[in-house]
Amino acid sequence: MSPDSGTNVVWLGSPGFPEAARTALGDPQLRRNLRKATATIRDKRLAVTGELDDWEQLREAGAATKRHTLRHLDRYLLRLEDSVTKAGGVVHWAADAAGANRIVTDLVRATGEAEVVKVKSMATQEIGLNEALEQAGIRAYETDLAELIVQLGDDRPSHILVPAIHRNRAEIREIFQREMGAWGRPAPDGLTDEPRALAEAARLHLRDKFLRAKVAVSGANFAIAETGTVGVVESEGNGRMCLTLPETLITVMGIEKVLPRWQDLEVFLQLLPRSSTGERMNPYTSTWRGVTPGDGPQAFHLVLLDNGRTATLADTVGRQALACIRCSACLNVCPVYERTGGHAYGSVYPGPIGAILTPQLVGVEHAATLPFASTLCGACYDACPVKINIPEVLTHLRAEVVEAKRAKRRVPGAEALAMKAATAVLASPRRLSVAQKAAALGGRLVSRKDVIGPLPGPLHAWTDARDTPAPPTESFRAWWQRTHPTGADS
Partner 1 sequence: MRIALFITCFNDTMFPETGKAVVTVLERLGHTVEFPLAQTCCGQMHFNTGYRPEALPLVRGFAEAFADYDAIVTPSASCAGMVRENHPLLAQQYGDAELRAAVAEGAPRVHEFTELLVDVLGVTDVGAYFPHRVTYHPTCHSLRGLRLGDKPLALLRAVRGIDLVELPAADSCCGFGGTFALKNAETSTAMLGDKMRNVVSTGADVVCAADNSCLMHIGGGLSRLRTGIGTLHLAEILASTQGDAR
Partner 2 sequence: MTARDTVLGRIRAALADVPADEAVGDAPVPRDYRRSHAEADEVGLFAERVADYRARVVQATPERARATIAGLLAGSDVRTLVVPPGFPPELVPEGPWRRLEEPLEPGDLEAADTVLTTCRAGIAVTGTIVLDAGPGQGRRALTLLPDHHLCVVRAEQIVADVPDAVALLDPGRPLTFVSGPSATSDIELDRVEGVHGPRSLDVVIVREEPHV
Residues that bind partner 1 (CB under 8 A): 17-18, 21-22, 25, 31, 335-336, 339-340, 369, 371-379, 381-382, 395, 398-403, 415-416, 419-420, 422-423, 426-429, 432, 435-436, 439, 451, 453, 461-462, 464-469, 471-472, 474-477, 479-481, 484, 487-490
Q: Which of 386, 404, 231, 224 is nearest to 321 (CA)?
A: 386
Distance CA 357, CA 344 (A): 15
Question: Which of partner 2, partner 1, none does residue 472 bind to, with CB < 5 to 8 Å depending on kind?
Answer: partner 1
Please report whether residue 71 would count as binding partner 2 according to CB under 8 A.
yes
Q: Which does 439 bind (CB under 5 to 8 A by kind): partner 2, partner 1, none?
A: partner 1
Q: Is 156 in the site for partner 2 (CB under 8 A)?
A: no
Residue 427 contact partner, candidates partner 2, partner 1, none, CB within 5 to 8 A by sort of partner: partner 1
Between the alpha carbon of residue 322 and those of residues 100, 132, 258, 459, the distances in Å are 19, 25, 11, 38
448 binds, among partner 1, partner 2, none (CB under 5 to 8 A by kind): none
Q: Which of 2, 316, 483, 486 binds partner 2 (CB under 8 A)?
A: 316
Nearer to partner 2, 272 or 435 (CB): 272
Among residues 141, 163, 299, 113, which one has the least CA distance to residue 207?
Answer: 141
Task: Give the residue with the Cβ less far from partner 2, 146 or 373.
Answer: 146
User: In terms of Cα–Cα distance, which of 45, 53, 50 is closest to 333?
Assistant: 45
Q: How far apart are the first and last CA of the chain?
A: 57
Stretch that binds partner 2, among 127-135, 236-244, 427-435, 461-469 (CB under 8 A): 236-244
**Shortest distance, CB of residue 14 to partner 1, whole angstroms?**
16
Residue 222 is a binding residue for partner 2 (CB under 8 A):
no
Comparison of 298 and 433: residue with beta carbon closer to partner 2:
298
Q: What is the 3-state secondary structure (H, E, C) of the chain?
A: CCCCCCCCCCCCCCCCHHHHHHHHHCCHHHHHHHHHHHHHHHHHHHHHHHCCCCHHHHHHHHHHHHHHHHHCHHHHHHHHHHHHHHCCCEEEEECCHHHHHHHHHHHHHHHCCCEEEECCCHHHHHCCHHHHHHHCCCEEEECCHHHHHHHHCCCCCCCCCCCCCCCCHHHHHHHHHHHHHHHCCCCCCCCCCCHHHHHHHHHHHHHHHHHHCCEEEECCCEEECCCCEEEEEECCCHHHHHHHCCCEEEEEEEHHHEECCHHHHHHHHHHHHHHHCCCCCCCEEEEEECCECCECCCEEEEEEECCCHHHHHCCCCHHHHHHCCCCCHHHHHCHHHHHHCCHHHCCCCCHHHHHHHHHHHHCHHHCCCHHHCCCCCCHHHHHCCCCCCHHHHHHHHHHHHHHHHHHHCCCCCHHHHHHHHHHHHHCCHHHHHHHHHHHHHHHHHHCECCEECCCCHHHHHHHCCCCEECCCCCCHHHHHHHHCCCCCCC
Candidates 152, 175, 224, 249; binder of partner 2 (CB under 8 A) is: 224
Amino acid letter, residue 202:
A
Number of residues that bind partner 2 (CB under 8 A): 98
- Measured from the CB atom, is 167 or 398 closer to partner 2? 167
CB of 202 or CB of 220, closer to partner 2: 202
Residue 61 is a binding residue for partner 2 (CB under 8 A): yes
User: Rounded CA gap, 100 and 119, in Å?
Assistant: 17
Binding to partner 2 (CB under 8 A) within 73-92 occurs at 73-75, 77-78, 87, 92
**If contact means CB under 5 to 8 A according to the sort of partner, which of partner 2, partner 1, none does residue 262 touch?**
partner 2
Kindly indicate which of the ranges 238-246, 342-350, 353-361, 480-488 contains the residues binding partner 2, using the contact rule CB under 8 A: 238-246
CA–CA dist 244, 24 (Å, integer): 40
Contact call for residue 288 and partner 2 (CB under 8 A): yes
Q: Which is nearer to partner 2, 24 or 452 (CB)?
A: 24
Stretch that binds partner 2, among 5-13, 72-80, 361-369, 430-438 (CB under 8 A): 72-80
Sole binder of partner 2 in the list 1, 25, 46, 64 (CB under 8 A): 64
86 makes contact, choosing from partner 1, partner 2, none, with CB < 5 to 8 Å by partner type, with none
User: Segment near partner 2 (CB under 8 A), from 129-137, 167-175, 398-406, 449-457?
Assistant: 167-175
109 binds, among partner 1, partner 2, none (CB under 5 to 8 A by kind): none
Q: Does 265 bind partner 2 (CB under 8 A)?
A: yes
152 near partner 2, judged by CB under 8 A: no
> From residue 9 to residue 48, what is the string marking binding to partner 2 with x (rule CB under 8 A)?
------------------------x--xxx-xx-------
Question: Which lies closer to partner 1 via its Cβ, residue 99 or residue 472?
Answer: 472
Closest contact distance (angstroms) between CB of 244 and partner 2 is 4
Half-sphere exposure of 329 (CA within 13 A, CB side): 29
- Would you count residue 125 as binding partner 2 (CB under 8 A)? no
- Residue 218 binding: pick among partner 1, partner 2, none (C-beta 5-8 Å cut-off by kind): none
